[in-house]
Structure 1
């Protein structure tokens, strides 16, 4: 996730964990010594308690709000009217009173900042102008294939959609497909070929029978084909240029699929075909997506997606301001910026929730109170999405006392596959704890139905959070603690 990119100097506001946040019934001496920065308290049968979370001696605090997540819900007032939709399924708000105006503004805010779907239109696209320009340049000027990579929620799919819209305006034939874990090369690329009119094949004349019938390229493929046969067919494209976008390429599990795609890229480049591929996927570097393929390195360009800058976050929020006729205060913008850590997904999610909170209060200015309400809403929703046993594990005494360790593990597990080792956690803790003790305490959370999974990879012990939502909850709670006075 994006939070891992924060420098350790930016973690200094999360100083000592308040005594009130420690597990009840545990003495200060046995769990946490505020005077021992960078030390641990050990016992023969108990876990190591981390008093420091970073290399500079600061500690990761656990926000008090988290304790409310695991309480039983309070009983609300009786005889309340049941909630109703504010608009029809066609997004029409029929009445003209003040409430209907408020409903329209909420719908406009949803369309501008809603985070449940990627951005698909340029009117809602902010920031990333440099990435879009670089992507267009790679396709148009260099005629290479492009691999867009980065962390989850960084905006890869949104960039791909906006790029596709821009390319279609330039009369490119853009074909989009989302990869799945069971993706097969022949099935996926036959579907792409079925969307390329046969009229664009150099052997077909505009007034020929094939053109009149409206045939497509898939009719020219054998029942079984590979990357060479497909490249031979695509090399005969004329009259247009084709861009094939393979989104979520990291989800593909079949190594043969990735090998065939690499072979297709090489053959298309060797034939100077008018077909180019754009791959997107979760990865920290190019090799994680395409593997070791030196034969195609000169045919591809890697486009890493960086976190949004503070100015770009402001651009995103400004779209919501115009759409919903509201204004975000400087404090609210700063809060969203700090919590999102450069993630476009989190910027939209938090800004949307904060804007909704303000509109519900019938306010036109989103202030710090609404920003905090948005953060708590997101944390509550993430917690509710976790299994009950996981919620119980996060609320138990051992998790409270090991909060810095869990935060460090969440940062260490930000790779595409989510795995991390003891050395990764050691680095995130700033080298303040010994690896054997870190491994021992991580294993305490690696029991069946607990927070972590434990795997052996060639004699190396690797861990992974059993549910991805746990690491997200931990990382955002750490960011929230930094803002707590």
Structure 2
């Protein structure tokens, strides 16, 4: 937050906040907007996959009113006028705006007040020219010293894609990484949330939620909320470790449909297979600082869960299926490294905690044995 405020106070500078899905980027943007609204004209926009450069800027510029004075019609004394208000986007007409057109309109806005524009889910648009046009816009705004700051929020790949389109914007854009939360931060979320609801909570419950969340506050909130409701339904003001599994089971229903579909597609089979166990072993395997794990880490967790010492060759095909770009089980893992030393990483960071939640409900994994987050 301090870095973003410093960026905003430097004309010509912009920022991109990047990190995995579910780490709290949108929450950060929401809080920043509340803070900035007291000193700057602040507008926010959330992208969708169908958005284009034109649709985004038309919507953003619609948030800025433009006043026009025109002579009154009829038999009125000369010089009398009436004022009309319309959105700034009306000046674009029916054409798709160019970066220079956007710059000229934002220049009009900046003459009135310092302006901050937050664009969330910046990695979502699929339009082929989106990144190029935005890179050009950042370059032009910076070169002209326009008193407008763009704060972009996206996943890690967003930075590389943006800079690839215009290498020189590196000087104009500050890269702000949003890491996963630490254990102490997640613990604070649980305890403060319960306190706000006039509930107290057992330490064992807190530790289990922190371990399962793997640094993602989304799951911390979700499980704690449902566990708290279990306690309230039982007329208790203490959330106990016994509420953990009930909270997890209830929270499973609230996880996004996308995550649930990925889990189902990657593990479903009409016959008995190891896919569920291997995916769960991947989710709880020890990770390095980059969030990657090896086949040996998976083997260790498989033995822990099943009591059987599997050879890596017996589940290598499962890892390959999860890492494939084709087939119903593919698109789960990214595989990198030389043959024999492959490292794997989950593509969607929200999936591993869900897998652990399913394993907990199915009785396959003990909450106390879950791998701690990085």
Could you tell me the TM-score, scaled by structure 2's length?
Answer: 0.73
SS of match in other structure, 1:162: helix
Task: Indicate the structure whose relative CO is greater, using CA pairs within 8 Å and at least 6 residues apart.
Answer: 1
**Cα separation, 2, equivalents of 1:223 and 1:248:** 26
2:41–2:114 CA contact under 8 A, matched in 1: yes
| Pairwise CA distance, 1:351 | 1.3
| Pairwise CA distance, 1:358 | 1.1
Say yes or no: does 1:352 pair with 2:261. Answer: no
1:46-74 superposed Cα distances (whole Å, 9 cap, x missing partner): xxxxxxxxxxxxxxxxxxxxxxxxxxxxx
1:432-471 superposed Cα distances (whole Å, 9 cap, x missing partner): 99998875343456698742259999xx999999999765
Say yes or no: does 1:481 pair with 2:366. Answer: yes
1:182–1:254 CA contact under 8 A, matched in 2: yes
**Cα separation, 1, equivalents of 2:121 and 2:59:** 17
SS of match in other structure, 2:116: strand
SS of match in other structure, 2:3: helix
**Cα separation, 1, equivalents of 2:369 and 2:195:** 30
2:116–2:148 CA contact under 8 A, matched in 1: yes
1:158-183 superposed Cα distances (whole Å, 9 cap, x missing partner): 1111111111122x221211111121
Match of 2:94 in 1: 223
Runs (4 or more) in structure 1 with deviation over 6 Å come to 207-211, 408-412, 430-438, 445-449, 454-457, 460-469
1:308-319 aligned within 5 A: 308-319=181-192
2:212–2:367 CA contact under 8 A, matched in 1: no
1:371–1:472: structure 2 CA closer, same or farther, 3 Å change rule?
closer
Match of 2:305 in 1: none
* Segment of structure 1 superposing worse, 180-189 or 149-158: 180-189
**Cα separation, 2, equivalents of 1:472 and 1:438:** 21
**Cα separation, 2, equivalents of 1:454 and 1:309:** 25
> Which residue, out of 26, 29, 38, partners 1:169?
38
**Cα separation, 2, equivalents of 1:428 and 1:341:** 20
Match of 1:180 in 2: 48
1:318–1:468: structure 2 CA closer, same or farther, 3 Å change rule?
closer
2:208–2:367 CA contact under 8 A, matched in 1: no
> Which residue, out of 221, 227, 233, partners 2:105?
233
**Cα separation, 1, equivalents of 2:119 and 2:237:** 41
> Which residue, out of 318, 329, 333, partners 1:451?
329
Match of 1:399 in 2: 275
1:148–1:281 CA contact under 8 A, matched in 2: yes
**Cα separation, 2, equivalents of 1:336 and 1:210:** 64
| Pairwise CA distance, 1:379 | 4.1
Say yes or no: does 1:192 pair with 2:60. Answer: yes
SS of match in other structure, 2:236: coil
1:259-280 superposed Cα distances (whole Å, 9 cap, x missing partner): 1111111111111112211111
1:147–1:303 CA contact under 8 A, matched in 2: yes
SS of match in other structure, 1:265: helix
| Pairwise CA distance, 1:306 | 1.7
Match of 2:119 in 1: 246
1:149–1:305 CA contact under 8 A, matched in 2: yes
> Which residue, out of 20, 43, 53, partners 1:151?
20
**Cα separation, 1, equivalents of 2:155 and 2:315:** 27
1:30-45 aligned within 5 A: none
1:346–1:378: structure 2 CA closer, same or farther, 3 Å change rule?
same
Match of 1:139 in 2: 8
**Cα separation, 1, equivalents of 2:244 and 2:205:** 5
Cα-Cα RMSD: 4.4
1:467–1:219: structure 2 CA closer, same or farther, 3 Å change rule?
closer
SS of match in other structure, 2:101: helix
1:331–1:439: structure 2 CA closer, same or farther, 3 Å change rule?
closer
**Cα separation, 2, equivalents of 1:406 and 1:470:** 11
| Pairwise CA distance, 1:406 | 4.7
Structure 2 unmatched runs, 5+: 72-78, 301-309
1:232–1:364: structure 2 CA closer, same or farther, 3 Å change rule?
same
1:427–1:145: structure 2 CA closer, same or farther, 3 Å change rule?
farther
Match of 1:84 in 2: none
1:450–1:466 CA contact under 8 A, matched in 2: no
1:186–1:328: structure 2 CA closer, same or farther, 3 Å change rule?
same
How many aligned residue pairs are there? 338
